Structure 1
Amino acid sequence: MTAPGTNHLAAHVRGISKSFGDGGSRLQVLKEIDLEVRRGDITMLVGPSGCGKTTLISIIAGTLVADAGELNVFGHDLRKMSTAAITHFRSKYIGFIFQSFNLIPTLTCAENVSVPLLIQGVSPSKAEKRAKEVLEQVGLADRFKNRPSQLSGGQQQRVAIARALVHEPQLIICDEPTAALDAKNGHVVMELFEHVARGKERAVLIVTHDNRIFHHANRIASMDDGRVVEVHDVDEDHPPPEHLKHVERL
C-alpha cells in the first residue's frame, strides 16, 4: 500500500465546504471535509444518497468551486487558479467516468475515445491511433468501428474507461462505474482500475454504493450528512468492515 507522505498524494482536501441556494433556502452540502487521495490507490467514497459524495468529487475534479477550505491536486492549489487554468489542468491531469457512460451514439468506439485528444488539438490521425491503442488495452481491439448501440453494458463501460484514459491523466474519477453492470462485468472493470492505479502510480477515486467491489479498494471513506465520518485502509489483513457491506445499493 502506498505510504501516506505528502509527495505520494494525488489530492489533499482540508476543510472543504460547499452550499447551494441563497438565504433561507441555502443548503450546506459539504461541511469541512478532510480527505487524502493517494497515488497508486483506489479510494472509494461510500454513504447514503444525498450525503455529498458527487459534490465532493466534482470539486476535486475542478467542475465545482468550494466555498471554503484547501484543495491541492498534484501540487496545484485549485482554489487559487482561474477558471481557464482549471480547465487546462483538468484536461491534462483528470479523467472522469460517468455512471451513464455519456458516449456519443453517432460515433464509433474509436471516435468516442478520440474526443478528449481532439479537444486538446491533437490531429485526427494521431488521436485515432492513440484511441485504438487504449481500446486494445481494455480488451476491445475488435470493436473499433462499432457504435455504442452495438455494445453490451460492460463493453460500453470499457469504452468510457478508455476515453477517460486516452490523454493519460493522473487522477481517474468515477461516479458509480459498476452500478449498471452485473457481477462479472463489474469485476472486469475493477481489475482494469487496479491495473490503472498501480501501473503508473495514478490514483482512482470512485463514488459507489456497490458493496460487491469494496474489496478492490485500498481505502474506503464513509460519508454522511456532508462529512467524512471514517476512513478505512483495506488490504489482505484488513478487509472492509462488516457494517460497510450494508451500504444501500442503487
Structure 2
Amino acid sequence: MTSNPDPVHLANHAVRLSGIVKSFGDGNSRLTVLKGIDLDARSGEIMMLVGPSGCGKTTLLSIMAGTLHADQGGVEVFGTRLDKMKSAHVTKFRAQNIGFIFQSFNLIPTINCAENVSVPLLIQGTPARKAEARAKELLAAVGLGDRWHHRPTQLSGGQQQRVAIARALVHEPRLIICDEPTASLDAKNGTMVMELFDTVAKAPGRAVIIVTHDNRIFSHADRIAQMDDGQIVEVHDVDKSRPPELHH
C-alpha cells in the first residue's frame, strides 16, 4: 500500500509533484510516459526511485529538475512552482538550488576535473580561485584529490562519475537529483559516494532523489518509491536493519 505523508511531512516537503503527465511524439506514435504522477519528497531524506527500464524514472527526474516540462501537473521544489515560471527563471532557480548527476556524466572534455567541478560556482559568480579551491575539496572527498588536473578523457568511467558527483555537490544545492550515480562504481567507491550523500547532501533543508537499479545502496534510502508503466505503484519507508523488499 502506498504510504501517505502526515501533515508534518507535508509542511516539510522538498518536492511535490501532482498529476504529472508527459507524452512524446505525435498522432498515432504518441507515447504517454508519465500517467498522472503524485509524489512528495521530504526535506532531509534520501528517496530512491526504482522500477523496470522504460517505466519513466529518468523522465520524472528531468521534470523535477526543471530540464523537461510536463504536459500536465504541478511541480513544486522547496515551495517554488517550476511549472508556473518562465524558462529563464527556471534556469536561474536550477543553477542556485539543484544539482543533477547525469547517467552520461556530461563533463566538458577540454578542461580538467577541477575546472569541470567549478562550473556551477562560476555560473553563480564565485571568483575562479575560490571556486577551484572548493572543487578540489569535493574531488578529494570522492577520492580524486590527486586527479584534479586530469581531463575527463584521462579517467575511467567510474572516475568520471565521481567527478560528475563532485560537480553536482560543489555549490551545495538544496535538491540533489541523481540518475544511476553508482552504476559505474565498484562496491568501495559506491559506498564512498553514498556516505558522501549521507553526510554532505542529506541535511535539514536539503533532499536527495536517486534513480537506481543498484540494490547495494538501497539501505541508504529513507524511502523507496516504486514505479511501473508511468505510475508510482508504492512508496514505503526503509527498515535500516535489513535490505528493503521490492515487488517486481
TM-score (norm 1): 0.89
Could you say which residue in structure 1 is the equivalent of 2:57? 53
Shift of 1:93: 0.5
Q: Is the contact made by 2:202 and 2:208 (CA closer than 8 Å) also made in structure 1?
A: no
* CA 1:242–1:57: 2 relative to 1, 3 Å: closer
- Counterpart of 1:120 in structure 2 is 124
Equivalent residue runs for 1:21-40 within 5 Å: 21-40=25-44
- Distance in 1 separating the partners of 2:238 and 2:149: 40
Determine whether 1:165 maps to 2:177.
Answer: no
For residue 45 of structure 2, what is the amino acid of its counterpart? D
Match of 1:105 in 2: 109
| Superposed displacement of residue 238, structure 1 | 6.6
- Counting aligned pairs with the same residue, the percent is 69
Pairwise CA distance, 1:217? 0.8
Instruction: Quote the offset at 1:74 in angstroms.
Output: 0.5
Cα deviation digits, residues 161-210 of structure 1 (max 9, x gap): 11111111101111111112222222221111111333454211111111
Where structure 2 has 5 or more consecutive residues not aligned to the other structure, the ranges are none
Runs of 4+ in 1 over 6 A off after TM superposition: none
**Counterpart Cα distance in 1 of 2:12 and 2:143:** 30
What is the aligned partner in structure 2 of residue 62 from structure 1?
A: 66
TM-score (norm: length of structure 2): 0.90
CA distance in 2, matches of 1:158, 1:180: 9
Q: Say if 1:167 and 1:185 are closer, same or farther in 2 by CA, change over 3 A.
A: same
CA deviation after TM superposition for structure 1 residue 5, in Å: 2.0
Q: 1:195 is matched by which residue type in structure 2?
A: T
Q: Which is further off, 190-199 or 13-22? A: 190-199
RMSD: 2.0
Q: Kindly tell me the number of residue pairs found equivalent between the two proteins.
A: 243
Write out aligned runs for 1:100-249 (5 A). 100-236=104-240, 239-241=243-245, 243=247
Residues 227-249 of structure 1: CA distance to partner in whole angstroms, max 9, x if unpaired?
000011113257411546xxxxx
Cα 1:139–1:201 shift into 2, 3 Å: farther
Q: 1:75 aligns with which of 76, 79, 83?
A: 79
> Higher mean Cα deviation, 175-184 or 99-108?
99-108
Take 2:104 and 2:26, find their aligned partners in 1: how far apart are those partners? 30
Amino acid at match of 2:118: S
The Cα shift of 1:19 comes to 0.9
- For residues 239 and 34 of structure 1, the distance between their equivalents in structure 2, rounded to whole angstroms, comes to 25
- In structure 1, the gaps of 5 or more residues are 245-250
